[in-house]
Amino acid sequence: MQDREARVVIVGAGFGGLTAAKTLAKAGVPFVLIDRRNHHLFQPLLYQVATAALAPADIAVPIRAVLSPGRQKSHIEILMDEVTGIDRTARTISTQGGATIPFSHLILATGSDYAYFGNEDRWAPHAPALKSLDDALNIRRRVLLAFERAETTSNVALRQRLMTFVVIGGGPTGVETAGALAELARATLARDFSNIDPRTARVVLVEALDTLLNAYPRRLGAYTRKKLEQMGVEVITGRPVEDITTDGVLLEDRSILTANVFWCAGVKATPVGEWLGVETERNGAVRVGPDLRLEDDPHIFVIGDASSVDDESGDPLPALAPVAKQQGRYAAETIIAEARNHPAPDPFRYRDWGTMATIGRAAAVGKFGKLEVTGFPAWLLWGAVHVAYLVGFRNRLSVMLNWLWAWVSYAKGSRLITGPDEAAIDALDSGRAVEAELDKTVTNLEER
């Protein structure tokens, strides 16, 4: 590994890194692509895996299958490894697997992680977040196990706790997850149990700010709230979470007893700033110039969620898939221009085609410049855009067929409880212990 020739190195095969890789491959520029996972993940549909609507393979594709290094004319290398540091003087990156890889240019596209506002250790074990396929499968398991446990217990309080689902964060992911959970309970599972009525499940969406979908116009946030409430979701806004424990969620004015809390709030960038030894924004993102490079090193690009760059009006660009994709293409085109002795492209400019969020199976909201769309037409558009953005024909076809089937039948085909999950089993299988503790817990929470 030490004798490697310095090449373009891309870290991360998400939206930004994979787009950069495809652009370089097309131009015949050799590169090394490193990702800790072997697949590219379409995160916008993760909530559908978590709520049993889609299977993991529908929204992920092996990186090697996308780039097929063996079939490319230019030299492409794909490494499955985790980057742990960068030596800017030696111009190398180091990995968990012990490799030291030299780079001529570096594109850092490692995305973001969830942040629990400084309460990672205490809250994360009780409130899993949705970032990877494993996270989605863990949440799916917890949700389905909760109904199974509720079916087998005769303790009414425990049953209520098991059938209460709290989603924290009223951004697009929280809204989509809460809507999908309500549909799962009220439609898909409605007639599947003998001792419980899944339609009585309580789905609560908690947002610290006063409105939902804060990046959208207020009208769309209000519309979203109304739609969710019509679907049976209890929406609580203006209430930051004060604590999350095994018993449930504590807000300023109330506590919610639940065995199921899902975290969809707060994001922080991956530790790229630490690796580079540069100052970062409060969310950990690395500030880059308008050409997406470090100001003191034109050979290092930081793109996507890991970076911070302003739009023309001086506001930071949002952490969205299209931003990362456009930045990936721009970084690669800059490198290609340099390799061909062409002038560098003009500064990066984000072309905003609009943003959308879905609310269940028949409504969505979208903002396209000044145009705001809601309802079923918005939902159709949301579906078309997401299918078009998926990588791979198989995935597009599979997602379309799944959605069509779910639409006509209300069925969700991926309702399988698989894999050992100590956390879920600890939380749910300790039914008897919980029953004994329950009265004490209720009293404690009421006293607080």
Q: Which residues are known catalytic residues?
A: 176
Cβ nearer to ligand FAD, comparing 201 with 356: 356
383-389 long-range contacts, CB within 8 A, separation 24+:
385/356, 386/44, 386/45, 389/42, 389/44, 389/321
β-bridge partners, 367: 355, 372
In the complex, what is the shortest distance from the CB of residue 56 to ligand FAD, in angstroms, rounded to a whole number? 14
In the complex, what is the shortest distance from the CB of residue 337 to ligand FAD, in angstroms, rounded to a whole number? 22
Q: Which residues make Cβ contacts (< 8 Å) with residue 52, sequence separation at least 6?
A: 140, 143, 144, 184, 188, 412, 413, 414, 415, 416
Residue owning tokens 């953005």? 389
Beta strand 112-114 with 31-35: parallel, antiparallel or unpaired?
Answer: unpaired
Q: Which residues make Cβ contacts (< 8 Å) with residue 20, sequence separation at least 6?
A: 10, 107, 109, 303, 328, 329, 331, 332
Count Cα atoms within 13 angstroms, Cβ side, for 207. 22
Token duo for residue 58: 């529908």
In the complex, what is the shortest distance from the CB of residue 79 to ligand FAD, in angstroms, rounded to a whole number? 9
Cβ nearer to ligand FAD, comparing 153 with 177: 177
In the complex, what is the shortest distance from the CB of residue 173 to ligand FAD, in angstroms, rounded to a whole number? 4
Cβ nearer to ligand FAD, comparing 15 with 147: 15
In the complex, what is the shortest distance from the CB of residue 290 to ligand FAD, in angstroms, rounded to a whole number? 18
Cβ nearer to ligand FAD, comparing 130 with 181: 130
Cβ nearer to ligand FAD, comparing 164 with 326: 326
Looking at 155-279, list the stretches that DSSP marks H as alpha helix, in order from N- to C-terminal side.
Answer: 156-162, 172-183, 218-230, 272-276
Token duo for residue 371: 């145009």
> Which amino acid appears at position 376 of this protein?
F
**Interface with ligand FAD by CB under 6 A: which residues?**
11-17, 34-37, 43-44, 46, 82-83, 109-111, 130-131, 172-173, 270, 304-306, 319-322, 324
Q: Which residues make Cβ contacts (< 8 Å) with residue 447, sequence separation at least 6?
A: none
Cβ nearer to ligand FAD, comparing 17 with 383: 17
Minimal CB distance to ligand FAD: which residue?
14
In the complex, what is the shortest distance from the CB of residue 99 to ligand FAD, in angstroms, rounded to a whole number? 12
CA atoms of 220 and 247, how far apart (whole Å): 33
